[in-house]
Amino acid sequence: MKTRKLGRNGPEVSAIGLGCMGMAAFYGPASSQAQAEEVIHRALDLGVTLFDTAEMYGPHTNEVQLGKALAGRRNKAFIATKFGIGYNAERTALKVDGSPGNVRRAIEGSLQRLNVDHVDLYYLHRVDPDTPIEETVGAMAELVAEGKVRFLGLSEASPATLRKAHATHPITALQTEYSLWSRDPKDEILATCDELGIGFVPYSPLGRGFLSGEIKSIDDLEESDFRRTNPRFMGDNFQKNIDLVTAVTEVARARGVTAAQLALAWVLAQGEHLVPIPGTRRVRTLEENAAAADLVLSPDDLAAIEAVFPRDAATGHRYATAGQSSLNR
């Protein structure tokens, strides 16, 4: 596995990481511990070092899955987890809490569930509009001083927020959705990361599995899969987006690779400071995704992709109302 540096002064990690969310949450019934360990252990064998989870995933159960899977191999893994967001009791809205008190509460829980003495990269999952970012990051910085956290990150933060946070304590990585069909960060956010020497970690680089070309119908998703309520998977949007993926699949076929590999290689081609974290529950898909790290796209390849899947071509918001309202702009 090729490696990349996560930010100008950050650590070296695998060029493609593993997003662990889907093993425990949102995409239908959770994987068993044995299933999760099979994928995580194979990822380690392939040279994947960056493993991404969050307090919210489960909630809590994904951190437990990852911690158990890494037992005895902790030194091979760079663990990233997140705090600061969760559903209310009715699961009708998201609650964001970046208060210093919650920073302290959250890290103690994550360390226990992961069964580690420190987290390598600690993200604020969503920016709290009611707590100045300087206060949140200041509290997170205390964890670095105490050795409970090595590096700090933000998720879905605007350039202005990122600058304020970075001025308080160096931010190593910004995590935001980014893929062929979610290019919001393309301009100012990516430029800001590059300017400040901050690594960029695209989550859902395969469009929540859509860009793999394997989802042909909404019926391919479990009844409890949250993607059934995602605007891009609903109604007329679904077919319009399927047509885009079909066109990309043809470009991939001509290149002798899968649509997923082409989509991941496209993300990697957007800058050396990008480290995508596709998720999966299957070893076969993991191996396919990891192989994309070796796929180098030529200018002609990139032009062919752009011709069939231009920016803003995807139809529908990337989250339903509750999710959209939690994004920092």
The helix/strand/coil state of 176 is: strand
Q: How far is it, in rounded angstroms, from Cα 110 to Cα 285? A: 28
- Is residue 319 part of the annotated active site? The answer reads no
Q: How many CB atoms lie within 10 A of CB 307?
A: 10
In order of 64, 114, 148, 281, the CA distances from 70 in angstroms are 10, 9, 18, 16
Closest CA to 53 of 94, 106, 99, 97: 106
Peptide bond into 310 cis (omega under 30): no
The helix/strand/coil state of 174 is: strand
Inter-residue contact 121 to 82 (CB < 8 Å) = no
The helix/strand/coil state of 219 is: helix
CB contact set of 20 (below 8 Å; sequence gap of 6+): 36, 40, 51, 52, 53, 57, 62, 65, 66, 279
Active-site choice (27, 57, 178, 203) = 57
Torsion sign across C-alpha atoms 100, 144, 278, 207: positive
The H or E element containing residue 129 is none
Inter-residue contact 298 to 326 (CB < 8 Å) = no
In the 8-state DSSP scheme, what is residue 30?
P
Closest CA to 293 of 215, 208, 205: 205
Q: Torsions phi, psi of 228, nearest 5?
A: -65, -20
Q: Are strands 78-83 and 119-124 parallel, antiparallel or unpaired?
A: parallel
Q: Which residue numbers are catalytic?
A: 57
